[in-house]
Amino acid sequence: MTSKTVNLSGGFVFWTLSGNTDHTIMSAGFSQLNLSRYCPEKNTEGGALKAALIKTFGGRNIDVKSIQRGKGYGVAQYDGTRVGDGRYAPLFDVMLPKGSTKIDFLSPETGEAIENEPANANEARKRFWRELDCIPLNKLASSLVRVVKHLGGIPLRDNGGVYWLPEDSLKIWDGLSLVLKHSSEVGKTNKLYRVQTNIDPKGVEAIMDALTRTTLGELKTLEDDIKGGSIGKRAMESRREKASKLQDRVKRYATILGTTLTDLEDACEDTDQAAAMAILATFGS
């Protein structure tokens, strides 16, 4: 590896997520930024119902569990007078609506509709319909990780959380920040952050280490899939495409850092060629 003095500009990016995100607004924003393929999916009916029940009735003594193989949820309250596994006393069951917009609160014993519904029953119904167009936090977080990767970002820690983005990607990140702000639930803190920096030699070293660690780790996963021989031609082509994208990222960082990254480029090329040979081996088989 050879290098020259470089004034490296970019930014550290991270986020905090704690509230609902409107899928309709988010989808429109992702489309405007040409990021549609990375837009997270909205809640399933089951996810929306569980979220509505937890937000309406949830508390430290309340348990919401899936029943009848995911067709509904049972809500129970902790009872210290009970023993064993039955310390939670069932309050009511709520089933996913079938062909209607009505959500019934049922007796856990009889399965019949409860005459005296919980005080917040209608609030739970309203929340359910709102939750159907919301994005779960786990899906939103996964989407942001994929966007960072698409923009050429690299995680500075093994478990993620803080990423470095090249300067030419920060404008898109700022646009995404506005999208998230306008699609977030009022009063909640779904925010994207960035800290723009001019990196000194120690910072360059940290980014180089992160790039090397991340690239080699991703290549190892691809190589294991390729050598395993248990995936088909289409999946193998997908692995080769990923290896090619990793090679492009390494070349991009070589330009940004003003250095040559021959070892990493060669490692990407080796994985790409291994995938190509595996694809050729599928012909005629």
CB neighbours of 254 closer than 8 A, spacing ≥ 6?
260, 261, 265
Q: Bigger pLDDT: 22 or 80?
A: 22
Quick: pLDDT tens for 99-116: 666 788 999 989 898 888
Q: Bigger pLDDT: 97 or 226?
A: 226
Quick: pLDDT tens for 167-218: 999 999 999 999 998 998 776 778 999 998 777 777 888 888 899 999 999 8
> Are the CB atoms for 11 and 188 separated by under 8 Å?
no
* Mean pLDDT along residues 7-29: 87
CA distance 271 to 255: 22
Is the pLDDT reported for residue 85 higher than 70? no
Q: What is the pLDDT of residue 1?
A: 46
Is the pLDDT reported for residue 87 higher than 70? yes
Quick: pLDDT tens for 134-157: 999 999 999 999 999 999 999 988
Q: How many residues does the chain have?
A: 285
DSSP 35-77: -GGGPPP---HHHHHHHHHHHHH--TTEEEEEETTTTEEEEEE
Strand, coil or helix: 87: coil
Burial 103-137 (b: 16+ CB within 10 A, else e): bbbbeeeeeeebeeebeebeebbebbebbbbbbbb
Q: What is the pLDDT of residue 107?
A: 92
pLDDT bracket for residue 163 (50, 70, 90): very high
How much of the chain exceeds pLDDT 90, in percent?
A: 39
Quick: pLDDT tens for 235-257: 888 888 888 889 998 998 888 87
Using alpha carbons, list the distances in angstroms from residue 254 to 5, 106, 201, 265. 13, 62, 15, 10
Q: What is the pLDDT of residue 261?
A: 87
pLDDT bracket for residue 275 (50, 70, 90): confident
From the CB of residue 222, how many other CB atoms can be counted at a distance below 10 Å? 20
Q: What is the pLDDT of residue 30?
A: 97
The one-character DSSP state at 96 is P
